[in-house]
């Protein structure tokens, strides 16, 4: 595929899916492999035309001997094109052991945390990653084999929140052809060539067999099916939201009550979606709720008297007369006592944390907080007593460079902080204006700029 044809197809896909708009500040994840190098070249080619600001993040997983040379290669690509480069090194094996998850999941977690960190640091608007058409087909097959619903068959969406995938339309062969035309080499991760992981076996054996023995366009056909399912799912989600609002009797962070009579008038698929939405309210980002669990809850509605069923995450569903109630038990969220922060440079202990705050001149080259638990703010904008405490009703945080705010409760739901720990997450605030949700993000309103004269640097560390 000629490079101009590839870029034209990419522009159309970006426009059709409204992935990127003029003036966006975009953090790109670039490993050095073919897909991510193509992503870098593509967005760089659109930089002037769309007035884009680009930043590259490379995460060294410390798993392979060639990792350092790959990081150096990506840095060189960026220097040649004048793109700011951010390197993060994470011991993925150690992280995997610490979190008791596989290295694949640990690597994914480390990458997205790095992307979000740089996004906050530079004030970017979007994160671009390099999933392609083959990745989508592989994930669809993987989910299908494990058991899934429509969402799992959609597999990888073109856009989710602030994450965009401009290369999702392109096959791996098209991407490599594009790079050949550009005369740019790429790195090859030898671990992708083995069959050590289930996903690799799909990539190296199953998908090629489908294309060789069944239909040469199998990958593209799966992409087209996923697109149709995506449209159908979006439609169903909107309808479910309407039905949920109509059926919801009451909702808190630990309990959701629904009108059972209204649920029973709905289509069976919408019934399942509505129950899933109720569970998502109690446990955002849950991964262990299956079709069997949803069917068990719905079966309660067809029984007389008071019946109950236990679900994962300590959730109990109870059907009693005309009400279905889902309650999450055993949630203990310890609130933090309010503590004033005095920026005198000394450390003090509060609610199980060690806190230190100091005021510094905004000198050139100052590190404005690449560390997760040390952040810097414009001291001149702080007009009230600065405190560390738990969240409170009415708290808001600025989430856009234009000053747009969001309720802190909504932000915590959006980033999937479990309901049971939200009260124990430290918040740095002036009145109801939140500067920092510790371990997560800082307010756009208090970020350090070139006009900042004095900086307050705050460190909050959990005691062992």
Residue 402 covered by a domain: yes
Does one domain contain both 303 and 173?
no
Residue 458 covered by a domain: yes
Does one domain contain both 166 and 281?
no
Residue 389 covered by a domain: yes
Residue 384 covered by a domain: yes
Does one domain contain both 293 and 375?
no
Does one domain contain both 304 and 347?
no
- Answer positive or negative: Cα dihedral of 208, 213, 219, 223: negative
Q: What residues form DSSP beta bridges with 346?
A: none
Domain edge (last residue) among 297, 328, 359:
328
Cα distance between residue 284 and residue 281, in whole Å: 6
**CATH number of the domain encompassing residue 272:** 3.30.465.60
Residue 241 covered by a domain: no
Check residue 361 and give its pLDDT: 86
Residue 231 covered by a domain: no
The pair of three-digit structure tokens given for residue 80, joined into one six-digit string:
């040649």
Check residue 421 and give its pLDDT: 79
Residue 423 covered by a domain: yes
Check residue 462 and give its pLDDT: 84
Cα distance between residue 290 and residue 97, in whole Å: 27
Does one domain contain both 317 and 376?
no
Does one domain contain both 65 and 214?
yes
Does one domain contain both 90 and 182?
yes
pTM: 0.69
| 9 neighbors 185 (Cβ within 8 angstroms) | no
Check residue 288 and give its pLDDT: 78
**CATH number of the domain encompassing residue 111:** 3.40.50.620
Does one domain contain both 354 and 215?
no
The total number of structural domains that make up the chain: 3
Domain residues for the domain of 66 are: 3-225
Check residue 366 and give its pLDDT: 54
Does one domain contain both 320 and 361?
no
Does one domain contain both 386 and 320?
no
Residue 20 covered by a domain: yes
Does one domain contain both 88 and 115?
yes
Residue range 15-44, pLDDT digits in tens: 999 999 999 999 999 999 999 999 999 999
By the 10 Å C-beta count (0-12 exposed, 13-18 middle, 19+ buried), 309 is classed as middle
Cα distance between residue 344 and residue 365, in whole Å: 22
HSE (CB half, 13 Å, CA atoms) of 156? 23
**CATH number of the domain encompassing residue 350:** 3.50.40.10
Ranges of the chain whose pLDDT falls below 70:
1, 192-193, 196-197, 330-334, 364-370, 420, 464
Domain edge (last residue) among 225, 246, 280:
225
How many residues does the structure list for the chain?
464
Q: What contacts 24+ positions apart, CB below 8 Å, involve 237-245? A: 237/273, 239/270, 240/270, 240/273, 240/274, 240/277, 241/277, 243/270, 243/274, 244/274, 244/277, 244/278
Does one domain contain both 66 and 169?
yes
Check residue 8 and give its pLDDT: 95
């Amino acid at each position: 595929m000629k490079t101009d044809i590839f870029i034209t197809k990419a522009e159309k896909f970006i426009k059709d899916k409204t992935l990127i708009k003029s003036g966006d500040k975009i953090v790109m994840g670039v490993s050095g492999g073919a897909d991510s190098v193509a992503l870098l070249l593509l967005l760089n080619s659109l930089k002037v035309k769309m007035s884009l600001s680009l930043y590259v993040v490379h995460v060294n997983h410390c798993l392979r001997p060639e990792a350092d040379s790959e990081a150096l290669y990506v840095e060189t690509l960026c220097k040649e094109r004048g793109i700011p480069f951010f390197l993060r090194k994470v011991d993925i094996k150690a992280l995997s052991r610490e979190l008791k998850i596989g290295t694949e999941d640990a690597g994914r977690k480390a990458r997205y945390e790095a992307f979000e960190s740089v996004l906050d640091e530079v004030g970017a608007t979007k994160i671009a990653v390099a999933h392609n058409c083959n990745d989508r087909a592989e994930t669809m097959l993987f989910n299908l084999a494990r058991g899934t619903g429509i969402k799992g068959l959609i597999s990888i969406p073109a856009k989710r929140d602030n994450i965009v995938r401009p290369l999702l339309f392109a096959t791996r062969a098209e991407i490599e052809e594009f790079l050949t035309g550009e005369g740019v080499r790429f790195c090859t991760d030898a671990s992708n060539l083995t069959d050590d992981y289930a996903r690799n076996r799909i990539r190296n054996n199953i998908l090629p067999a489908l294309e060789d023995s069944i239909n040469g366009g199998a990958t593209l056909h799966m992409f087209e099916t996923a697109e149709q399912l995506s449209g159908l799912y979006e439609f169903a989600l909107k309808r479910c939201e309407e039905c949920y609002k109509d059926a919801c009797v009451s909702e808190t962070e630990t309990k959701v009550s629904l009108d059972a009579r209204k649920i029973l008038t709905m289509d069976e698929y919408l019934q399942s979606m509505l129950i899933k939405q109720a569970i998502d309210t109690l446990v955002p980002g849950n991964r262990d709720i299956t079709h069997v669990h949803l069917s068990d809850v719905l079966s309660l509605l067809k029984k007389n008297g008071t019946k109950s069923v236990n679900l994962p995450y300590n959730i109990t569903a109870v059907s009693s007369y005309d009400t279905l109630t889902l309650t999450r038990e055993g949630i203990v969220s310890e609130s933090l006592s309010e503590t004033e922060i005095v920026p005198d440079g000394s450390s003090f202990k509060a609610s199980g944390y060690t806190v230190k705050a100091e005021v510094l001149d905004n000198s050139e080259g100052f590190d404005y907080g690449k560390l997760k638990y040390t952040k810097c703010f414009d001291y001149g904008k702080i007009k009230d007593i600065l405190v560390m405490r738990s969240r409170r009703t009415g708290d808001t945080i600025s989430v856009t460079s234009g000053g747009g705010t969001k309720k802190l409760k909504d932000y915590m739901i959006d980033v999937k902080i479990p309901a049971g720990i939200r009260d124990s997450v430290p918040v740095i605030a002036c009145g109801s204006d939140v500067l920092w949700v510790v371990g997560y993000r800082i307010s756009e309103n208090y970020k350090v700029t070139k006009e900042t004269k004095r900086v307050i640097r705050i460190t909050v560390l959990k005691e062992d």
